[in-house]
Structure 1
Amino acid sequence: MQAKEILRNLQLLELDEISQFFHTIPPPTLGCGGARGSVLGDSLQLMTHYHDDARTMYEVYQRGLHITGDGPCLGFRKPKHPYQWLSYKEVANRAENLGSGLLQKNCRSSPDQFIGVFAQNRPEWIIAELACYTYSMVIVPLYDTLGPEAIRYIINTAEISTVICDKVEKAKVLLKNVEMKETPDLEIVILMDPFDMDLVQMGNDCGVQILALREVENLGQMNRRTPVPPRPEDLSIVCFTSGTTGNPKGAMLTHGNVVADFSGFLKVTEKVIFPRQDDVLISFLPLAHMFERVIQSVVICHGGRIGFFQGDIRLLSDDMKALHPTIFPVVPRLLNRMYDKIFSQAGTPVKRWLLEFAARRKATEVRNGIIRNNSLWDKLFFKKIQDSLGGKVRMIVTGAAPASPAVLGFLRAALGCQVYEGYGQTECTAGCTFTTPGDWTSGHVGAPLPCNYLKLINVDEMKYFSAKGEGEICVKGPNVFKGYLKDTEKTDEALDKDSWLHTGDIGKWLPGEYIAPEKIENIYVRSEPVAQVYVHGDSLQSFLVGIVVPDPEVTEAWARKKGFEHSYAELAKSEAFKKALIEDMVKLGKQAGLYSFEQVKAIHLHYEMFSVQNGLLTPTLKAKRSEMRNYFRKQIEDLYSNTSI
């Protein structure tokens, strides 16, 4: 596949040199083709799902329903009014009614039954989607920005006979296409909004039945069908992408594709910001795009709430103040607007200087792994900014385009929440790389998700070579789509014979620096008998080791509590004591959210304090890591040679 002439400036964190801690073991099924994967997970097996009871999008909703029951699910509001909520039970009931009603209108419970949805974000969108999933039908989003020709192309290519739309104006666009005999398969248009008899007559004139959404739900309620749940390998959605030239391409995504993609996200974030039942997501990014829909699926799977904006982006801040969301999916363009507005309101050079000064102080905390919104700087400078987003945002996720490092850095500090960036495209469901928690640097799009492998291949004509760590990004895994609907030529361009997706984007591997040994050391020194610790990782080894200096004042007393009747010096020779000490350190690490690969697997006990005098500390008492590595070279080699995991 030819790389695009205009390429995104993407950079990827290299996983085989994370702070010189890890290297990639080539996956056995892929050979030595330069493929790299996530270091997260229990094995080299790619993730297909996170929860055993949520392997399809139907099961995802059922899981949220089981967690929350009659709790709030989908929220909407009228101007200057609070949010109103539909419960999980109400949404599930309406979806079964709507799905049953569609079946009464000659739709089939089958993965080759395509239902069009032509609407802005609102609860009925999700109800229509769930109705399709409940009876193994496939949803096909339509959206205005594609243009009228593209909408006609999609309806004809997918042979859509039924479209659910929100507004009368959109229904008229659809009917005009039928009237001009450009979409002859369209038979039914279902309206979410009220309509009058003029629209019904317009439909009759061209042979299209106009129905109200509630009317179809009532029909289904009177003729209720038993759900026909889909399988993971069944299609869930055909998502048409605009592309750069020609007709849009219909990416066929299965239930398993979507579940695998958001499961990778869950695995990456599980220790630090795992979704909760009290999470609230503000929905304003188009549901016709997979980025928004994957993030929503994560929230629904855990019984959280989705609050929809009023439909006007200018009122988004007002909606957020009313909703108080905790999760905020966003695109870089909006982040840029926020950034520009914040600084435009700092009307004088002095105010701007103070704002930048406060942001630098907060940024220092962020670099040290401290994410908070209750500091003095927050109270003096950033509370108004945080309140404009509802005051409770704990996670921002951005994608769809490269984000400015300056903007991301400032907002991470000013908003006091975790800001994640990812890269992907519809053909790999949404994301294939994602920021690793704790790595709050900018200018890259994170590391591969645990649900896919990545590799770079040569683009000779543009002088990008994988040997230099750059080239076209290729993706393989259970989140990669099955091809383009009725377009084998484009499918063959995108997917090679080994099922690698050729994205057409250029990427570059970067040395990773997001596993900070200082962070691990600061956790381990909380262990009562530990006075000092040096954590080391070798790029040719798959685990960490440590040099520990026991505290002479408390070690013997701590050891006696554990059943060791040894002197301070004798404890150095006790393997049982070292095992107990490692267990205590690892326990603290787990409590602090360290991943298993961030924990030491072996330690050497050293009985001389690290100091400025012996050259192991700087005058400010920071570890001289290079000197430490050389000083303990022999002990480190012994730890690696004598330890098996």
Structure 2
Amino acid sequence: MEQHSVIVPDTETQTSGPIRRNANNANVVLSVREGCRTVYESFRNGAMVSPGGACLGWRPLDPNGDAGPYVFMTYNEVLSRIDAVHNALVTRNALPPNEDGLRLLAIYSRNRPEWIVAEQACFASGGATVPLYDTLGADTVEYILLQTGAPTVVCGTPAEVASVLAVAAACPRLGLVVCVEPFTEELVGTARSKGVALVSFDELESEGRRMLRRLPHSPPSPGCVATFCYTSGTTGSPKGALLTHQSLIASVASVEQAGILELDSEDIHFSYLPLPHVFERLVQVNIFASGAAVGFYQGNPLKLVEDLQALRPTIFPSVPRVLNRIYDKIMAGVAAAGGSKEALFRRALASKVEGLRRGQLKHWLWDRLIFNTVKAGLGLDRLKVMATGSAPIAPPVLDFFRCMLGCDVFEGYGQTEGCAAATITAPGDFSSGHVGPPVPCVEIKLIDVPDMGYRHTDTWHGGDQDGMPCVGRGEIVYRGPVAFTGYYKMPEKTAETIDKDGWLYSGDIGLWTLSGNLKIIDRKKNIFKLAQGEYVAAEKIENVLTTSPLIGQAFVYGDSLQSYLVAVIVPDEETAAARFGQGDTFNLAAACAAPGSELWQAITEEVATRSSEAKLAGFETVRKFILEPAPFSVEEGLLTPTFKIKRQAVEAKYKGAIDALYATPVSAAGPRSSL
């Protein structure tokens, strides 16, 4: 059996397994392309490789709001804009150092060309960026601006400007706000009244261009902080993870060394994952270092497929949340077609899945007859590679995309604190259910978690009949140049996450497969103990439940006073309407309010079936739930900007309903509605 990771001899201890490294390449490389060691240098390298080539693209809107074809700026044009903005920032002294000597530029906007221009101009000034998700509310914006002391904020829209100005009084260092989209004189007056200058991005550029020369740059060194990545804050205040240029470049280099991406100036990346998240940032660092192009989405998640069709990218990183929806929609369409069409599709898919097990991505008949048409309809007919991360992806979904696309679809594992790069599946390995071996510059070991029954000496995972052999289980800890330097102004939290030897504690539970791949099996963080003493990882169970096309979101709850789990489940309205609607009408709220409805019965069956298929223990199975028709949202404060559940907020909102579920014995009451 081919081994994808190798053991470092004499590294096992009484409480931890041996250190493992990538089997094919364990070299530590701290540069990309022609010796580039910073994000600043890597962008400039792309401009040398492809000075007149496409760099940043977008779809202009007509007066009716309809998007036209993609329009691109060249690398030389983008460099000219970067130099102009840098000139203006320096002349205005817009990035004075904070108390820690950091020159910080906050960027509060969705993905757009100006985001990249602003960041590179900041790097040219020796500064670092503080990205803010465009979905953040004023309270979180205030927290981050106050903690960092960022004096200048680049906003995308007037609404984002208003959020910044609403907290300006609490942020004494704030002096300049720059807005990309048009704004009113009234907003200028509001800013002035708060002692803040408000200018347009165009005006800032024009100021810099009027200087007729480029002011000297102050490029960062590899050890300088490149960016703050604020973690989600699912159980408390967000934490600002400090990522250096070296850690970002090392992460990109390790993916290259693993043979995942071989990019050139003809490649095009579709940018829709939020730039404040490290996953998207890493992809773009690699794209720009290669002289390749980035096409930005319109900003409307409902028009992603429309934008894909217009761009036809060659690179498409994604996340399970998006891929699951595409998969569910395609499979629902197949089921609706029925008859011979459905039978043919399922036969083709089964044949290609069988081919994957033999190392074959393509099929001469099924690709031409079925799958080429499907991927062309999604705008993915030119795709060279897809990568997925940020959450586990179900093996059937991963298999489907490999079959449909006929190209490598890699699954990776990492965290913000490790620059998103800890493991990634190996090229040519089309097996599923794992996240691959360590990337070349990372070492990984598993630490015993005796309270949860995981030890590095374990040789079996699961039940006697349905388990799998393994080579140790435990908490995943890893180290390497990809690791962050700490949480800004949070030394205690930093010490909880990374130790003196550089080991980063993930909070995830994993096992080593017999082939040396890492498999994520549980979660140490966000666990709680039930009354009978069993430990439960809520996120693991939520991931199981949401594999059902009928379940859009799930929040699992339990505590030490109760012996079983309950949940708040949000049905997927589109799937529910297709299954239970009559004609064009379907009232989700009414169906959720009627415990005897077909929807209730179907979700009850889905909870039982999915739990059984995932081999959940009895105490891990949800015994009661409520149905909530309104999805958890960022705007309501129930989700983080990366769509993770804010557990305390959801628990507070549904406390009454949860208490009601526990008020009657489990054997005497069925599911209850929250309405």
TM-score between both structures, scaled by the size of structure 2 = 0.70
Measured at CA, do residues 183 and 467 of structure 1 come closer, stay the same or move farther in structure 2, by a change above 3 Å? Answer: same
1:38 equivalent in alignment to 2:22: yes
* In structure 1, C-alpha distance between the alignment counterparts of 2:11 and 2:498, rounded to whole Å: 21
How far apart are the structure 1 equivalents of 2:145 and 2:516?
A: 48
C-alpha change, 1:27 and 1:214, in structure 2 (3 Å) is farther
Shift of 1:161: 1.1
Identify which of 499, 502, 508 aligns with 1:499.
502
Shift of 1:39: 1.9
Instruction: Please tell me whether the aligned partners of residues 17 and 456 of structure 2 are also in contact (alpha carbons under 8 angstroms).
Output: no
Gaps of 5+ in 2: 61-65, 459-471, 518-675
What is the 5 A alignment of 1:582-621?
none
Query: Relative to 1, partners in 2 of residues 1:50 and 1:206: Cα closer, same or farther, differing over 3 Å?
Result: closer
The answer on whether the counterparts of 1:19 and 1:511 sit within 8 Å (CA) in structure 2 is no
Partner of 2:210: 222
Partner of 1:64: 46
Deviations 1:529-553 (A, max 9, x none): xxxxxxxxxxxxxxxxxxxxxxxxx
Q: 1:380 to 1:21 in 2, by over 3 A?
A: closer
**1:208-253 C-alpha deviation (Å, 9 max, x unpaired):** 1001112112222234311111111011001111232221000000
In structure 2, relative to structure 1, the CA distance for the partners of 1:242 and 1:21 (3 Å cut) is: closer
Q: CA deviation at 1:182?
A: 2.4
Among candidates 107, 129, 132, match of residue 117 of structure 1: 107
Q: Deviations over 1:20-64 (max 9, x none)?
A: 6974234999999611111233xx542323434211001110111
Report the equivalent of 1:171: 161
Matched residue, 2:512: 509
Which of 363, 371, 390 is the matching residue for 1:382? 371
Partners of 1:408 and 1:356 in 2: CA distance: 16
Task: Select 1:76's aligned residue among 58, 76, 85.
Answer: 58
Residue matched to 1:519: none
- Alignment check: 8 A CA contact 1:47 1:478 kept: no
Conserved 8 A contact 1:50-1:267: no
What is the DSSP-based 3-state SS (H/G/I as helix, E as strand, rest coil) of the residue aligned with 1:497?
A: coil
Secondary structure in structure 2 of the residue aligned to 1:266: helix
Q: Which residue of 2 aligns with 1:249?
A: 239
How many corresponding residue pairs? 490
User: Aligned match of 2:480 in 474, 477, 498?
Assistant: 477
Flag the 1:341–1:203 CA change in 2: closer, same or farther, 3 A.
same
d(CA) in 2 for partners of 1:167 and 1:458? 49
Aligned to 1:95: 82
Take 2:269 and 2:420, find their aligned partners in 1: how far apart are those partners?
18
Report the secondary structure of 1:448's partner residue.
coil
* Matched residue SS, 1:75: strand
SS in 1 for 2:129: strand
Structure 1 residue runs of 5 or longer lacking an equivalent are: 1-17, 515-645
Tell me the amino acid that sits aligned with residue 422 of structure 2.
C
Q: What pairs up with 1:361-376 in 2 under 5 angstroms?
A: 361-372=351-362, 375-376=364-365
- Asked if structure 1 preserves the Cα contact closer than 8 Å seen for 2:270 and 2:296, the reply is yes
Contact 1:109 1:137 in 2 (8 A): no
Matches within 5 A, 1:19-30: 19=2, 23-26=6-9
Change (3 A) 1:183 1:382: same
Superposed CA deviations along residues 503-558 of structure 1, whole A, max 9, x for unmatched, are: 111111111189xxxxxxxxxxxxxxxxxxxxxxxxxxxxxxxxxxxxxxxxxxxx
**Partner of residue 616, structure 1:** none
Question: In the alignment, which residue of structure 1 is the partner of 2:281?
Answer: 293
Q: Which moved more, 1:129-138 or 1:146-155?
A: 146-155
Which residue does the alignment assign to 1:284? 272
Q: For residues 421-441 of structure 1, what are the alpha-carbon distances to aligned partners after superposition, in whole Å with 9 as ceiling and x for unaligned?
A: 001110001121001001111
Do the aligned residues in 2 keep the contact of 1:118 with 1:141 (CA within 8 Å)?
Answer: yes
Which among 28, 31, 35 is matched to residue 53 of structure 1?
Answer: 35
5 Å matches for 1:142-541?
142-178=132-168, 181-223=169-211, 224-269=214-259, 273-346=261-334, 347=336, 348-372=338-362, 375-390=364-379, 391-468=381-458, 469-512=472-515
Asked if structure 2 preserves the Cα contact closer than 8 Å seen for 1:146 and 1:242, the reply is no
Do the aligned residues in 1 keep the contact of 2:151 with 2:173 (CA within 8 Å)? Answer: yes
- Residues 26 and 54 of structure 1: is their aligned pair in 2 closer, same or farther, counting only changes over 3 Å? farther
Q: TM-score, normalised by structure 1?
A: 0.73
- Relative to structure 1, is the Cα distance of residues 186 and 216 closer, same or farther in structure 2, using a 3 angstrom cutoff? same
Q: 1:15 aligns to what? A: none
Q: CA-to-partner distance for each residue in 1:549-582, whole Å, 9 max, x for gaps?
A: xxxxxxxxxxxxxxxxxxxxxxxxxxxxxxxxxx
Letter in 2 for 1:58: Y
Other structure's SS at 1:190 match: strand
Distance 1:322 1:96 in 2: 30
Given that 2:387 and 2:411 are in contact with CA atoms closer than 8 Å, whether structure 1 keeps it comes out as yes
Separation in structure 1 between the aligned mates of residue 270 and residue 90 of structure 2, nearest angstrom: 32
One-letter amino acid matched to 1:482? T
How far apart, CA to CA, are the structure 2 residues paired with 1:140 and 1:407?
35
**Cα 1:149/1:20, change in 2 over 3 Å:** closer
Once the two structures are superposed, residues 402-452 of structure 1 have per-residue CA deviations (whole angstroms, 9 ceiling, x without a partner) of 001011111111121210100111000112100100111111111100121
Task: After superposing the two structures, state which structure 1 stretch, 25-34 or 412-421, moved more.
Answer: 25-34
1:45/1:395 Cα in 2 relative to 1: closer, same or farther (>3 Å)? closer
**Contact 2:11 2:19 (8 Å CA) reproduced:** no
Mapped partners of 2:256, 2:12: distance in 1: 25
Q: Percent identity?
A: 38
**Matching of residues 542-581 of structure 1 within 5 Å:** none
2:513 match: secondary structure: strand
More displaced, 30-39 or 504-513? Answer: 30-39
* Alignment partners' CA distance in 1, 2:510 and 2:282: 23
User: SS in structure 2 opposite 1:512?
Assistant: coil
1:109 Cα deviation (Å)?
Answer: 7.9
Q: Do the aligned partners of residues 27 and 308 (structure 1) sit closer, same or farther apart at CA in structure 2, a change above 3 Å counting?
A: farther
Compared with structure 1, are the counterparts of its residues 88 and 382 closer, same or farther at alpha carbon in structure 2 (3 Å cutoff)? same
